[in-house]
Amino acid sequence: MSPNAESTAFRSALEVIRAVEPRVADAIGAELADQRESLKLIASENYASPATLLTMGNWFSDKYAEGTVGRRFYAGCQNVDTVEALAAEHAKELFGASHAYVQPHSGIDANLVAFWAILADRVESPALKKAQVRQVNDLTEADWFALRRELGNQRMLGMSLDAGGHLTHGFRPNISGKMFDQRSYGTDPATGLIDYDRVAEAAREFKPLILVAGYSAYPRKVNFRIMREIADSVGATFMVDMAHFAGLVAGKVFTGDFDPVPHAHIVTTTTHKSLRGPRGGMVLCGPELADQVDRGCPMVLGGPLPHVMAAKAVALAEARRPDFADYAQRIVDNAQALAEGLLRRGTTLVTGGTDNHLVLLDVSGYGLTGRQAEQALLDSGIVTNRNAVPQDRNGAWYTSGIRIGTPALTTRGLGTAEMDATAELIHTVLSQTTPGANADGTPSKAKYVLDPAVADSVAKQATDLLAGFPLYPTVDLG
């Protein structure tokens, strides 16, 4: 395809938008400019291809399509059936799964589908059996009471938020922490690594219905074979949330014991992050859970988003190409180079390094909170996010950590040499930033002091570093 085709497509789209609401068109253009000029190190973000982005802006957005392929509650869904089936086919081939459900709008939606599919499959009661065969009208008030009691009183064991787990793994303010009688497993205080013996001990004591593995801020691999053995030992359903590292699974960087698909009963993921697709979710499972998973809509989902499912099909097709495996390996190579560069400069890293796409900095060694560090880096053209570290003294809002990741910069083509330069820029900012004070003179966990000249200098160096790796080089908005 001619590079001019992509430029023409995006220019034309903005021209049409500008005719209706120019401020939206301006914001879209400004977002591209900002992303081109910033060192994007947020581990959960990436850059989708022009083909994926363009797929989301089409007439599929106008269709309702509740149900599944061939079994819709609306007429005229034959074209939606085509793209949904293609997305599922690509997902099954890419991950070696027997069933794929591509309707979830997000990772949290995918997890809700998985939770309720497991509950519906595992919890035995006359009321539930009636509900499973759709005899809802036969349920008495007593049946509903019993059903709510049983479905709302099950146990889940997941990784704690400060150890690197996700808020949907039982964090109390999240729906997962309200649905389940929940307990968390952490990491070894000395190493920051998962202690599988302690997980097994917690499982034996707690006897969960669901054992959840996966993470959003754990910089190491997880042995899913061992986790499945733990789940089996207590009769738990083993669920893996691979939203962050799905691209490393798709690219065959994580194989064997570190590939969750052969070991888990059910796997959830997002389709963006390291998978480099559109924002959305997906569920993979075996045939024993497939029927329950396919009831995600209307069980917990609203109408599917056919335009996003079409974009998922495009992105998953891209991930099946041989060059995606090379991309996935470079993500890890870059993360390890970034970690090594920070360690050489005296930065404290949780677990002392990384095996995957992310690095977790403990910025308390710089005398800062995560919130102070996050904003000082942003002032300097480096986009990160604050994140809790194990046993974080500053809590989940201010935190003591910064999470950084390499999927986005790897998409731009930066390599290990540029990761070392990036480490230098990060260290420069953090070492030159000091905590600020509140109006009454007390120490602040949010305010900070950074010489604007230092911020400007680092921002310029970041821009210079990125100049050789243009973002969307085939897209010129004029």
Which helix (H) or strand (E) is 19 found in, with range?
helix 3-20
Cβ atoms 239, 352 nearer than 8 A: no
207 is catalytic: no
Which phi and psi angles does 185 have, rounded to 5°? Answer: -110, 145
37 is catalytic: no
Please, what sign has the CA dihedral across residues 65, 316, 470, 9? negative
Q: How many CB atoms lie within 10 A of CB 154?
A: 18
| Catalytic-labelled residue, pool 84, 109, 121, 241 | 241
196 is catalytic: no
User: Which of 206, 340, 336, 319 is closest to 273 using CA atoms?
Assistant: 319
Tell me how many degrees the CA angle 77-79-82 measures, rounded to the nearest 5: 115
Helices 224-233/196-206 angle, 10° precision: 20
Q: How far apart are CA 378 and CA 286, in angstroms?
A: 43
SS3 329: helix
For 379, which DSSP code?
H
Cβ atoms 150, 123 nearer than 8 A: yes
- State the maximum Cα–Cα separation within the chain, in Å, rounded to a whole number: 72
Q: How far apart are CA 407 and CA 410, in angstroms?
A: 5
Q: How many CB atoms lie within 10 A of CB 138?
A: 11
How long a stretch of residues is the chain?
Answer: 478
66 is catalytic: yes
215 is catalytic: no
270 is catalytic: yes
Spell 20-40 as b/e; 16+ CB within 10 A means b.
eeeeebeebbeeeeebbebbb
Cβ atoms 399, 369 nearer than 8 A: yes
- C-alpha to C-alpha distances, 402 to 188, 334, 377, 397, 428, nearest whole angstrom: 20, 17, 10, 12, 15
| Catalytic-labelled residue, pool 52, 237, 268, 270 | 270
Which phi and psi angles does 453 have, rounded to 5°? Answer: -65, -35
Supply 273's token pair: 């992050």
| Catalytic-labelled residue, pool 273, 295, 330, 412 | 273
Spell 327-343 as b/e; 16+ CB within 10 A means b.
bbebbbbbbbbbbbbbe
| Catalytic-labelled residue, pool 37, 45, 66, 291 | 66
In the chain the first and final C-alpha atoms are separated, in Å, by 19
| Catalytic-labelled residue, pool 63, 64, 195, 428 | 64
Q: Active-site residues: which are they?
A: 64, 66, 241, 270, 273, 279
